C-alpha cells in the first residue's frame, strides 16, 4: 500500500534529518521526499510518499506526530491527491533523432529548455506515472543525467 | 548574568536538588556557577552512571533527574544512560557542554555532534545558540521530559554560550509549544465502552506496565482492581505497582514470568493493558494471545497503541486520570469463579527449582531478604539472571522495585540505587546485581564513599555471565563462548579498598542472622552470595 504524508514542520535546522532519521530508524520506506517552505517562512512542508502495510502506515503517522518539530500530519492515498513532479533530463541528441525527441516532448507535454549540438535538456512537470512513462520513452535515447524534485502533493479540494 | 548562571537559576526554578555529572573544560562555566547555588553536585565516576543515577532519582521523586557532563567523550559516554532512560520512559534533563559555537563542525578537541548522536534516544534535544534563550529552553525541557510519555531531553550548550552575558534571569511562567500537547484525560466515550465490555467479560485481567508508576497511579490501579474484583498481572516494569501478596495480584508475565500469569493472559477474554507496550518480553506472540481477546489499551503515547497489538478500545491519556474515571462507574460483573481458577493455577503450577544446598539459592535468598527489608524499601535490580530472580522472588510491600526492563543495561543497579538513596535518604535501598553487572559499575563505590550514600549492594557471584551462559547452554548445547569471568576481583578486597563493610554468604545456613547483620546498621555494605554457576532462571 502506498500513501502520501503531508507533514508541516518547524522550519529549523536539523528537522529534515530528524524526520528522515525516524524513517531509517524504524525501517519505514521513503519512496519520495520533497521539502519546501510554505506561505509562512517559519513552517516547511514535507511531502513524503511511503509504502508498507496498513499497520506500518499507521505507525508512520503516529511516530511523525510524536516528533516535537512536527506541527501537523495529513495522510491520504494517491487517488485522493493532486500530485506533481518536476523532472529535468539531459539526453544525447544527433541530427537523426532530434525529430523523435521533439515528438516525444510534444506528446508528453514536455519542453526543451536548453540544447547544444549534441545535448538537450528536457523539462516535464506531471504526475508520477507520466514521469515514469517519460523516463521509459527516453531510455531508448541515451540519457546523460536526470534530476527530479520528488513528488509534491496536496489533498483534493473535495476531501479537505 | 552569564549563560551558565542562567542555567543554574533555571535548575533552581525547577527545584532541582542534585546534579549528577563529570566536569570537563566545555562544561566548566556551568560547574563554576553552580558553586554559588544550594544545588548539590555529585561527581559520578563515569558519565553513563550519571544518567542512571539521575534515573534512580527521577523514579523516586517523580521529577526529571538532572545530569551534566562535558563535550565529546563526556557526552558520548552518556548515551547508553540516555538510551536506557528512553526505553524505560524515565524523565531526564541531560546537559552537555559543547565546544565554542564558532568551532562547531571543525572537529576540534573533544567535539562530538551529540544532538545528532542521541536523536533516536531522546524525546527532544536542543543545541543552544543564544544564551538569552536558556531559561525558555530549560523550562521547555523540564516540561517535555516530565509530561506525556516521560523521557530524556538533552540540552547541548557551547562554552561561549555559557560564558556570554545574557541579561537578567526571568523564568517563563508557562510553556508555549504549538507542536506538543499530550493528552491527559481519557475519551469519555471510550471509557463508557470499557465499562460495557467489562460487564460482558467473564475472565477480565489487568496487565500493568511501567506507565502506572510513572503516572503515580498505583493507588488508583489498586482501587480499581479491588472495586471491580479484577485480577492483575504485570510486566517487568510494572512490578511494585501492586504489593506482591495482594490477593488479586498474580505476578509477572512473559518469557521469564510465572506460568500461571501467562496462563491468565492466554485465557482472559478481556485484557486491560495499562501503561504497557505489549513488548516482546512480556507478550511473546501478541497476535496469538490477543486473537479472541478484547484488548483495552490505556497509554499516554498513542503510537504504542496498535504498534504491537491491535486494540479493541484504545484510550489515550494519563493512567491516573483514566483509572480514576473508570472507577467512578458502577459495573455489574462478577469474576469470583475466574479468580478461583487463577488461584488454583497458582497452587497447582509450582515452580520447580532444585537448588544445590552447597550454594546460596538466589530465589530463596531474595525472598527472605525482601521479607527482612523495611516495608517501604527500594529494591534496585540489575540485568541478567539476577534480574529475573529479583522479579520473581522479591516480595514488594509498600516499597519500590526499580530495574531497566526496556534496554536491559548491565550496571544499572548501583548508580540507580545511589540516585534513589539520595532522593530518599530515610528509606532502605538495596541494589542486587550479578558479578558481571557489578563490575560494570563498581567504580561507583567511590561515589558512595565520597558522598556517604548508604546502599546495600548484593552481588550474586557465579563467575559467569549467567544469563548468556544459560542461553548458550540451551541454544549452543553448552558451547560456552566468552562467558567465563573467573578473573573476578576478590570482592572482600574491593570492599576494603573503598572502606565498605563486607559480608559473605556461602550457603543457606544461618541466612537470617546474616541478613540481620547486613541490614541492621544504616551503613553501606557489599554482600557477596556464592550461587551455583550452573543454575538456571
A14 vs B contacts (CB less than 8 Å)? 115-116, 127
| Alpha carbons A22 and A28: distance in angstroms, whole number | 8
Please give the helix or strand (H or E) that residue B431 lies within, else none: strand B429-434
Contact of B379 with B394, CB cutoff 8 Å: yes
Residue B506's pLDDT is: 97
Closest CA to A150 of A16, A18, A41, A36: A36
Closest CA to B494 of B532, B428, B429, B449: B449
Residues A95 and A122 reside in one and the same domain: yes
Query: Residue B290 — very low, low, confident or very high, per pLDDT cuts 50/70/90?
Result: confident
**Cell, residue B85:** 532512560
Residues A72 and A8 reside in one and the same domain: yes
pTM for this prediction: 0.95
- Got the DSSP string for B184-226? -SPPHHHHHHHHHHHHH-SSEEEEE-HHHHHTT-HHHHHHHHH
Q: Which of A12, A15, A16, A18 to mutate to test the interface with B (most CBs of B within 10 A)?
A: A18
A67 vs B contacts (CB less than 8 Å)? 179
The percent of residues in chain B predicted with pLDDT above 70, rounded, is: 100
Residue of higher predicted confidence among B287 and B60: B60
B116 vs A contacts (CB less than 8 Å)? 14, 17
Task: Decide if B118 touches A, using CB distance below 8 A.
Answer: no
B155 vs A contacts (CB less than 8 Å)? none
**Cell, residue A105:** 516532448
Interface of B with A in 123-162 (CB under 8 A): 123-124, 127, 144
Mind listing the pLDDT tens digit for each residue in B302-355?
A: 999 988 888 899 999 999 999 999 999 988 888 999 999 999 999 999 888 899
Which residues span the domain enclosing A95? 82-155
- Examine the pLDDT at A160 and tell me if it is beyond 90: no
Average the pLDDT over B88-102 and give the result: 98
Backbone φ and ψ for B434, nearest 5 degrees, come out as -95, 180
**Residue in B144, B301, B310 closest to A68 by CB:** B144
B124 vs A contacts (CB less than 8 Å)? 68
Residues A16 and A52 reside in one and the same domain: yes
CA of B106 to nearest chain A CA: how many angstroms apart? 18
Residue B310's pLDDT is: 85
Task: Decide if B179 touches A, using CB distance below 8 A.
Answer: yes
Closest CA to B247 of B230, B224, B268: B230
- CATH for the stretch B362-530: 3.40.50.970
Backbone φ and ψ for B78, nearest 5 degrees, come out as -75, -20
Q: CB atoms < 10 A from the CB of B199, how many? A: 14
Secondary structure (3-state) at B150: coil
User: CATH assignment of B3-163, given 3.40.50.720, 3.40.640.10, 3.40.50.970, 2.60.40.1180?
Assistant: 3.40.50.970
| Alpha carbons A96 and B397: distance in angstroms, whole number | 90
Tell me which CATH homologous superfamily contains domain B188-348. Answer: TPP-binding domain (3.40.50.1220)
A62 vs B contacts (CB less than 8 Å)? 302-303, 306-307
Average the pLDDT over A142-146 and give the result: 94
- Examine the pLDDT at B291 and tell me if it is beyond 80: no
CA of A115 to nearest chain B CA: how many angstroms apart? 41
| Alpha carbons B229 and B218: distance in angstroms, whole number | 16
Number of domains comprising chain A? 2
Name the residue of chain B whose CA is nearest to A26's CA: B120
The mean predicted confidence, pLDDT, of chain B is 96
What's A12's domain CATH number?
3.30.70.260
- Got the DSSP string for B22-76? E--GGGHHHHHHGGGSS-EEEE-SSHHHHHHHHHHHHHHHSS-EEEEE-STHHHH
Unique residue bearing C-alpha cell 550452573: B534
Q: Is residue A63 in a domain?
A: yes
The last residue of a domain, from among A76, A91, A121? A76
Domain with CATH 3.40.50.970 in chain B: 3-163, 362-530
Task: Decide if B178 touches A, using CB distance below 8 A.
Answer: yes
* Strands B378-381, B429-434: pairing kind: parallel
CA of B319 to nearest chain A CA: how many angstroms apart? 19
Residues A60 and A86 reside in one and the same domain: no
**Is A69 close to B306, i.e. CB distance below 8 A?**
no
Q: Is residue A99 in a domain?
A: yes
Mind listing the pLDDT tens digit for each residue in B453-497?
A: 999 999 999 999 999 999 999 999 999 999 999 899 999 999 999
Q: Interface pTM (ipTM) of the complex?
A: 0.88
Write b or e for each residue in B47-71: b if 16 or more Cβ atoms lie within 10 A of its Cβ, otherwise e: bbbbbbbbbbbbbbbebbbbbbbbb
Residues A96 and A45 reside in one and the same domain: no
B144 vs A contacts (CB less than 8 Å)? 68
| Alpha carbons B512 and B517: distance in angstroms, whole number | 9
Residue B350's pLDDT is: 81
Q: Angle at Cα B335 formed by Cα B334 and Cα B336, nearest 5°?
A: 105
Secondary structure (3-state) at B277: coil
Residue B45's pLDDT is: 98
**Is B180 close to A68, i.e. CB distance below 8 A?**
yes
- Examine the pLDDT at B289 and tell me if it is beyond 80: no
* Strands B232-234, B249-252: pairing kind: parallel
**Is A68 close to B179, i.e. CB distance below 8 A?**
yes
Average the pLDDT over B248-275 and give the result: 95
B216: which residues sit within 8 A by CB, 6+ positions away?
A: B62, B320
CA of A70 to nearest chain B CA: how many angstroms apart? 6
Task: Decide if B302 touches A, using CB distance below 8 A.
Answer: yes
Unique residue bearing C-alpha cell 519542453: A111
A17 vs B contacts (CB less than 8 Å)? 116, 119
Residues A20 and A69 reside in one and the same domain: yes
Q: How many CB pairs under 8 A join A and B?
A: 37
Task: Decide if B115 touches A, using CB distance below 8 A.
Answer: yes
Amino acid at each position: 500500500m502506498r500513501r502520501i504524508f503531508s507533514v508541516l514542520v518547524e522550519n529549523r535546522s536539523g528537522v529534515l534529518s530528524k524526520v528522515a532519521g525516524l524513517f531509517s530508524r524504524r525501517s519505514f520506506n521513503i519512496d519520495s521526499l520533497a521539502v519546501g517552505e510554505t506561505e509562512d517562512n517559519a513552517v516547511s512542508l514535507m511531502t513524503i510518499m511511503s509504502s508498507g502495510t496498513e499497520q506500518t502506515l499507521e505507525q508512520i503517522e503516529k511516530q511523525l506526530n510524536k516528533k516535537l518539530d512536527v506541527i501537523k500530519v495529513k495522510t491520504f492515498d494517491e487517488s485522493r491527491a493532486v500530485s506533481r513532479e518536476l523532472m529535468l533530463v539531459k539526453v544525447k541528441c544527433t541530427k537523426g533523432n532530434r525529430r523523435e525527441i521533439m515528438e516525444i516532448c510534444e506528446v508528453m507535454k514536455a519542453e526543451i529548455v536548453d540544447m547544444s549540438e549534441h545535448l538537450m535538456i528536457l523539462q516535464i512537470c506531471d504526475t508520477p506515472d507520466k514521469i515514469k512513462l517519460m523516463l521509459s520513452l527516453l531510455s531508448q535515447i541515451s540519457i546523460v543525467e536526470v534530476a527530479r524534485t520528488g513528488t509534491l502533493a496536496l489533498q483534493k479540494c473535495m476531501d479537505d | 548574568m552569564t549563560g551558565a548562571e542562567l542555567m543554574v537559576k533555571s535548575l533552581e526554578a525547577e527545584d532541582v536538588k542534585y546534579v549528577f555529572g563529570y566536569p570537563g573544560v566545555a562544561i566548566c562555566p556551568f560547574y563554576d556557577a553552580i558553586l554559588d547555588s544550594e544545588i548539590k553536585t555529585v561527581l559520578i565516576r563515569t558519565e553513563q552512571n550519571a544518567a542512571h543515577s539521575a534515573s534512580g532519582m527521577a523514579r523516586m521523586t517523580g521529577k526529571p533527574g538532572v545530569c551534566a557532563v562535558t563535550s565529546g567523550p563526556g557526552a558520548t559516554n552518556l548515551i547508553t544512560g540516555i538510551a536506557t532512560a528512553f526505553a524505560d520512559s524515565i524523565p531526564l534533563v541531560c546537559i552537555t557542554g559543547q565546544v565554542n559555537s564558532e568551532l562547531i563542525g571543525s572537529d576540534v578537541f573533544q567535539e562530538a555532534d551529540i544532538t545528532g548522536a542521541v536523536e533516536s534516544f531522546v524525546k527532544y534535544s536542543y543545541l543552544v545558540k543564544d544564551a538569552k534563550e536558556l531559561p525558555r529552553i530549560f523550562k521547555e525541557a523540564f516540561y517535555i521530559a516530565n509530561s506525556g510519555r516521560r523521557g530524556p531531553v538533552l540540552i547541548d550548550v557551547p562554552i561561549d554560550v555559557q560564558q556570554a552575558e545574557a541579561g537578567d534571569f526571568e523564568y517563563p511562567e508557562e510553556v508555549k509549544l504549538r507542536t506538543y500537547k499530550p493528552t491527559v484525560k481519557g475519551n469519555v466515550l471510550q471509557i463508557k465502552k470499557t465499562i460495557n465490555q467489562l460487564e460482558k467479560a467473564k475472565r477480565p485481567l489487568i496487565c500493568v506496565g511501567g506507565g502506572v508508576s510513572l503516572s503515580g497511579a498505583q493507588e488508583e490501579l489498586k482501587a480499581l482492581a479491588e472495586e471491580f474484583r479484577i485480577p492483575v498481572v504485570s510486566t517487568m516494569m510494572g512490578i511494585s505497582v501492586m504489593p506482591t501478596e495482594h490477593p488479586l495480584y498474580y505476578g509477572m508475565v512473559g518469557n521469564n514470568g510465572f506460568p500461571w500469569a501467562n496462563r491468565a493472559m492466554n485465557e482472559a477474554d478481556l485484557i486491560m493493558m495499562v501503561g504497557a507496550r505489549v513488548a516482546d518480553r512480556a507478550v511473546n506472540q501478541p497476535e496469538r494471545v490477543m486473537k479472541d481477546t478484547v484488548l483495552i489499551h490505556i497509554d499516554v503515547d498513542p503510537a504504542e497503541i496498535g504498534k504491537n497489538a491491535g486494540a479493541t478500545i484504545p484510550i489515550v491519556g494519563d493512567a491516573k486520570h483514566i483509572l480514576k474515571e473508570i472507577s467512578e462507574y458502577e459495573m455489574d460483573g462478577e469474576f469470583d469463579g475466574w479468580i478461583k481458577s487463577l488461584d488454583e493455577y497458582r497452587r497447582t503450577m509450582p515452580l520447580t527449582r532444585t537448588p544445590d544446598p552447597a550454594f546460596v539459592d538466589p530465589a530463596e535468598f531474595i525472598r527472605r531478604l525482601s521479607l527482612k527489608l523495611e516495608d517501604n524499601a527500594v529494591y534496585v535490580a540489575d540485568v541478567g539472571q539476577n534480574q529475573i530472580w529479583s522479579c520473581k522472588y522479591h516480595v514488594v510491600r509498600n516499597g519500590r522495585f526499580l530495574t531497566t526492563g526496556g534496554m536491559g543495561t548491565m550496571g544499572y543497579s548501583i548508580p540507580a540505587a545511589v540516585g534513589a538513596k539520595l532522593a530518599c535518604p530515610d528509606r532502605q535501598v538495596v541494589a542486587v546485581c550479578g558479578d558481571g553487572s557489578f563490575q560494570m559499575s563498581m567504580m561507583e563505590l567511590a561515589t558512595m564513599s565520597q558522598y556517604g550514600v548508604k546502599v546495600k549492594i548484593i552481588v550474586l557471584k557465579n563467575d559467569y555471565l549467567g544469563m548468556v551462559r544459560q542461553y548458550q547452554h540451551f541454544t549452543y548445547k553448552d558451547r560456552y563462548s566468552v562467558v567465563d569471568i573467573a578473573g573476578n576481583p576478590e570482592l572482600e578486597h574491593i570492599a576494603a579498598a573503598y572502606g565498605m563493610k563486607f559480608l559473605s554468604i556461602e550457603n543457606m545456613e544461618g541466612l537470617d542472622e546474616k541478613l540481620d547483620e547486613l541490614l541492621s546498621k544504616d551503613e553501606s555494605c557489599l554482600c557477596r552470595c556464592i550461587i551455583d554457576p550452573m543454575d538456571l532462571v
